[in-house]
Structure 1
Amino acid sequence: MPIGSRARRGFSVLVLSSVLLAGCGDDGSDDAQAAFEDELEAMAGVDDAKVEREAFDTEYYGEEIVVDMASDATADEVTAVLDALRRRERASEGAPQDSKVTLGAGTTSRAGDDFAPDAAPGIFGSTRDHAANERMAELLLAAVTALPDHNVVVVSPTEWSVFGAAEGSDPRAALADDIDAIRSEPLLADSVQGDLSVTAGDRKASFGWYEGLTPDLLEAWHGVAAAFDHEAVRSVTFAGTAIWIITRLPEDVPPKQLTTQAYGDQLWPLVREQVEVLAGLDEHATLEITNEYAFDDDGYQEDRFVRLELGRDARPDRQGRTWIDEAKAYLDQVLATR
Structure 2
Amino acid sequence: MGWEIFGEQTPPSYNDQIASGIAGSFLGEPLFRMAHLVLNGPGGLSRPWREAIAAGISPSLGFTRLTFGSRFDGAFVDNDPVYYSRLRLGVARAAQDNLGTSRDLERDEAVIDFALDYGLPGKDGYTYRRPFDYFSFHAAASTANGVETLATRGLLFGTDYAIGDTVRGLWGLYGSYDYLAPQIFNLSTTALSLGTTGQWWASERLALQGTVLAGLGYSAASTLRRTTEDRDYHYGVAPRLSLALRLIAGDRASVDLQAQKYFLGSIANRAAGRDDITRVDTAFNWRLHKRHAVGVKYVWSHRDANYPGAGNRSQTLGTVGIYYTLLGADGFGAVEWREPAVH
Scaled by the length of structure 2, what TM-score is found?
A: 0.28
Whichever structure has more strand as a proportion of its residues is 2
Q: Which has the higher contact order (CA 8 A, sep 6+)?
A: 2
1 or 2, which has the higher helix percentage?
1
